[in-house]
A and B are shown apart, each in its own frame.
Chain A
Amino acid sequence: MRALLPAPVLVPLLFAAFTVLAHRSRPVQRAIAITGVLVALVAAIAILVVVERDGPQAVTLGGWPAVVGITLVADMFSALMLVISLVTVLAVLVFAVGQRHSDDMLAFHPTYLALTAGVSLAFVTGDLFNLFVSFEVFLAASYVLITLGGARPQVRHGMTYVVINMIASTLFLTAIALVYATFGTVNMADLAEKMGTVPEELRTALALLFVVVFGIKAAVFPVFQWLPDSYPTARAPVVAVFAGLLTKVGVYALVRTQTLLFNGDLPDALLLTLAGFTMIVGVLGAIAQNDMKRILSFHIVSQIGYMILGLGLFTVSGLAGAVFFLVHQIPVKTSLFLVSGMVEESAGSTALDRVGGLLRRTPVVAALFGLAALSLAGIPPFSGFIGKLSLVEAGFGSGDYVIVAVSLVGSILTLFSMAKIWNGVFWGVAERPTAAVGAGAGRLKVPALMTSATIGLVAVTVAIAVLAGPIYDLSYRAAEGLLDPAPYVRAVLGS
Chain B
Amino acid sequence: MTVLTAALVGILYGTGVYMILQRTLTKVVLGITLLSHGANLLLLTSGGSAGLAPLIGRFTGDDTVADPLPQALVLTAIVISFGMTVFLLALAYRSWQLTRDDVVEDDIEDRRIAALAHRGHPPDPDTVPPRVQDLDEFADEETGAPE
Residues of A within 8 A of B (CB): 68, 105-107, 129, 132-133, 136, 140, 143-144, 147, 149-153, 155-156, 158-159, 162-163, 166-167, 169-171, 173-174, 176-178, 180-181, 184, 186, 229, 232-233, 288-289, 291, 294, 349, 351, 354
Contacts and interface: CB of A to CB of B under 8 A. Distances in A.
A140 B139 CA distance: 25
Given A129-B73, A177-B42, A180-B47, A140 B87 contact: yes
A169 B117 CA distance: 35
A229 B136 CA distance: 15
B84 A166 contact: yes
A170, A232, A289, A351: which has the most chain B beta carbons within 10 Å?
A170
Contacts of A107: 147
Given A153-B139, A180-B46, A105 B91 contact: no
Contacts of A132: 77
B76 interface: yes
B139 A151 contact: yes
B1 interface: no
B115 to A, nearest CB: 13
Nearest to B112: A290
Given A152-B99, A158-B91, A233-B132, A166 B46 contact: no
Given A152-B99, A156-B95, A162-B87, A289 B113 contact: yes
A153 B136 contact: yes
Nearest to B144: A151
A143 B90 CA distance: 12
Contact of A173 (B36, B98, B132, B146): B36
A159 B35 contact: no
A147 B70 CA distance: 33
22 contacts: A107-B147, A129-B73, A136-B84, A147-B91, A149-B146, A152-B99, A152-B135, A153-B139, A155-B95, A159-B25, A159-B92, A162-B88, A169-B80, A170-B36, A171-B39, A173-B42, A174-B38, A176-B43, A177-B39, A178-B46, A181-B46, A186-B73
A170 B70 CA distance: 16
Contacts of A294: 109
Given A173-B40, A181-B45, A153 B135 contact: yes
Nearest to B106: A156
B88 A166 contact: yes
Given A163-B20, A170-B32, A136 B80 contact: yes
A324 B135 CA distance: 40
Interface in B103-147: 104-105, 107, 109-110, 113, 117, 131-133, 135-136, 139-140, 143, 145-147
Nearest to A354: B133
A129 B71 CA distance: 13
Classify the interface of chain B: helix, strand, loop or mixed: helix
B94 A177 contact: no
B132 A288 contact: no
Contacts of A171: 39
Given A143-B87, A159-B104, A229-B107, A151 B140 contact: yes
Contacts of B35: 167, 170
A315 to B, nearest CB: 35
B83 interface: yes
B125 to A, nearest CB: 9
Interface in B14-63: 20, 25, 28, 32, 35-36, 38-40, 42-43, 45-47
B91 to A, nearest CB: 6
B133 A155 contact: no
B28 A288 contact: no
A106 B143 CA distance: 20
A159 B32 contact: no
B133 A152 contact: no
Contacts of B40: 173
A456 B92 CA distance: 39
Given A173-B43, A180-B47, A351 B87 contact: no
A355 to B, nearest CB: 11
Top 8 nearest A-B pairs (CB, nearest first) are A181-B46, A152-B139, A177-B43, A173-B39, A180-B46, A177-B42, A177-B46, A149-B145
A306 to B, nearest CB: 25
Contact of B94 (A150, A169, A349): A150
B46, B117, B135: which has the most chain A beta carbons within 10 Å?
B46
Contact of B131 (A147, A158, A351): A351
